[in-house]
Amino acid sequence: MNTVLPRTVNAAVHTAPTQAQGTVMRILGAVAFVHLLNDLIQALLPSIYPMLKEQFSLSFTEVGLITLTFQCTASMLQPWIGLYTDRRPIPFLLPAAMCFTLAGILMLSVVSTFPALLAASALIGIGSSAFHPEASRVARMASGGRFGFAQSLFQVGGNTGSALGPLLAAGIVVGRAQGNIAWFSLFALVAIAVLYRVSHWYKEHLRTVTRKAGTASGPKLSRKQVLGALGVLALLVFSKYIYMSSLTSYYTFYLIEKFALPVASTQLYLFLFLAAVAAGTFLGGPIGDRIGRKRVIWISILGAAPFTLALPYANLFWCAVLTVIIGFVISSAFSAIVVFAQELVPGNVGMISGIFFGLMFGISGISAAAMGKVADAAGIGYVFQICSFLPLLGILTILLPDVEAEA
């Protein structure tokens, strides 16, 4: 008996690739570009943490609470939005999502209290939560069957934005007035304009695509096997993104504390790490299409462990080298994990994308808050020592089924 998880009757709308049309690069490029803009705006928050910490007299725990607020609003809604739009697609949700982001940026540029700072962070998170499931679905629709490539291109847009965010924050905001944050609203306006055009393509695609009744085909696995595999993938995301959160939220503080670097210089080191993440993400999907996604997951997560274990004991030069290697290696797994999960539960692209993007944001937020508490009590260096063991959980990949062989 094939997988018995529920399917939607219009599963073909979401899973049938447009092989007849080929990969729609114009649409893939558009959603990847907007993902760049969305994540560039998101990267503004951790990039200006040192400035906010000083201006608002924040503790590390309060810094962690900012991340928790953003990440939770960016995660909790995603699976529900994805589940709903699997059944009732909403093309114009894409530009509407970026309107929340725009409001959050404008609010962030004028707030004067910590609760208002949390509210602005929540608005940015809500925009991200509504954007990701639908944008990921559009990328799959336009993939022409090259699912790993499409997911990687979409994801690398976000990673590139995350890498550029600290540089732009250093040049536009850090060391200047809080009002300069409002310049980032221009990126949100561009994103709204692009997504308005994408939503028209999406709407037309839904009208013309062949709707096939019945259930979508999937790997020959029992419900228990599918749920077990999804659980393993969730644990792998857990290990990957808690470690990633330690770097994205606290790497600048680590460099300031251990090597006495100025804030502006730490942004360059953060950029190098995030640029390596973007490069690794771009390669992970296409390589997974060629050699199998399970192999990519093996190499990516467990392969990063030797470097993460060495990082807390490295000098400044080797710290930079190791973070670049770690970023490149560990980032290649996410596209493979998302497509692997989509193949386990075909016909539920939005829900699966929402769960895994939401899981990513939720884990990052909760772990950032917890790490802030640990940093206040024992120091930033201790946080990095604890987190260095997390990639060893990559050994759990052995429990994943061979989906390509079973499909």
pLDDT tens digits along 128-143: 888 988 888 888 888 7
Residue 260, Cβ neighbours under 10 Å: how many?
Answer: 9
The residue with tokens 């999907």 is 285
What is the rounded distance in angstroms from the CA atom of residue 37 to the CA atom of residue 108?
17
**Between the CA of residue 48 and those of 75, 148, 160, 203, 292, what are the distances in Å?**
22, 33, 18, 38, 39
What is the rounded distance in angstroms from the CA atom of residue 165 to the CA atom of residue 246?
17
pLDDT tens digits along 23-65: 688 899 999 999 999 989 988 888 888 888 888 888 888 887 8
Does 152 have pLDDT greater than 50?
yes
Are the beta carbons of 338 and 153 closer than 8 angstroms?
A: no
Residues 354-364, mean pLDDT to the nearest whole number: 71
The top-scoring range by mean pLDDT among 4-18, 84-98, 140-154 is 84-98
DSSP H/E element including 218: none
What is the pLDDT at residue 386?
92
What is the pLDDT at residue 361?
64
Contact partners, residue 252, CB within 8 Å, separation at least 6: 46, 47, 49, 50, 263, 266, 267, 269, 270
Higher-confidence residue of 88 and 357: namely 88
pLDDT tens digits along 198-209: 998 988 887 776
What is the pLDDT at residue 18?
38
Tokens of 286: 């296409």
What is the pLDDT at residue 143?
79
What is the rounded distance in angstroms from the CA atom of residue 297 to the CA atom of residue 330?
9
Residue 294, Cβ neighbours under 10 Å: how many?
Answer: 19
Does 3 have pLDDT greater than 50?
no
Does 101 have pLDDT greater than 90?
yes
Does 355 have pLDDT greater than 90?
no
Residues 217-243, mean pLDDT to the nearest whole number: 82
In our burial notation (b when 16+ CB lie closer than 10 A, e otherwise), range 224-236 reads eebeebbebbeeb
What is the rounded distance in angstroms from the CA atom of residue 335 to the CA atom of residue 148?
7
- Mean pLDDT, the chain, rounded, equals 81
Angle (nearest 5°) at CA 273 between 170 and 66? 60
In our burial notation (b when 16+ CB lie closer than 10 A, e otherwise), range 352-372 reads bbbbbbbbbbbbbbbbbbbbb
Prediction pTM value = 0.67
Residues 332-353, mean pLDDT to the nearest whole number: 78
What is the pLDDT at residue 363?
72
For CA atoms 49, 54, 57, 60, give the dihedral sign.
positive
Does 77 have pLDDT greater than 80?
no
What is the pLDDT at residue 209?
62
What is the pLDDT at residue 217?
55
Are the beta carbons of 179 and 109 closer than 8 angstroms?
A: yes
What is the pLDDT at residue 371?
87
What is the pLDDT at residue 99?
95
Please state which CATH number belongs to domain 11-399.
1.20.1250.20
What is the pLDDT at residue 312?
94
What is the rounded distance in angstroms from the CA atom of residue 67 to the CA atom of residue 48?
12
The model's confidence at residue 365, banded by pLDDT at 50, 70 and 90, is: low
What is the rounded distance in angstroms from the CA atom of residue 49 to the CA atom of residue 67?
10
What is the pLDDT at residue 8?
41
pLDDT tens digits along 286-339: 777 777 778 888 888 888 999 999 999 999 999 999 999 999 998 888 778 877
Does 11 have pLDDT greater than 50?
no
In our burial notation (b when 16+ CB lie closer than 10 A, e otherwise), range 149-173 reads bbbbbbbbbbbbbbbbbbbbbbebb
Are the beta carbons of 111 and 302 closer than 8 angstroms?
A: no
Are the beta carbons of 127 and 73 closer than 8 angstroms?
A: no
What is the pLDDT at residue 4?
40
The top-scoring range by mean pLDDT among 154-158, 243-247, 325-329, 399-403 is 325-329
Residues 234-262, mean pLDDT to the nearest whole number: 87
Angle (nearest 5°) at CA 37 between 36 and 39? 65
Residues 206-230, mean pLDDT to the nearest whole number: 68
Domain ranges of the chain: 11-399
Tokens of 97: 């999502």
Does 15 have pLDDT greater than 80?
no
Task: With CA atoms as reference, report the closest residue to 56 among 103, 121, 101.
Answer: 121
Q: At what angle do helices 147-172 and 114-141 cross, to 10 degrees?
A: 150
Task: With CA atoms as reference, report the closest residue to 319 among 256, 401, 406, 226.
Answer: 256
What is the rounded distance in angstroms from the CA atom of residue 13 to the CA atom of residue 89?
10
Question: Can you give 335-393 as a three-state secondary structure string?
Answer: HHHHHHHHHHCCCCHHHHHHHHHHHHHHHHHHHHHHHHHHHHHHCHHHHHHHHCCHHHH
pLDDT tens digits along 106-130: 999 898 899 999 999 999 989 988 8
Coil, helix or strand at residue 17: coil
The model's confidence at residue 105, banded by pLDDT at 50, 70 and 90, is: very high
What is the rounded distance in angstroms from the CA atom of residue 83 to the CA atom of residue 362?
17
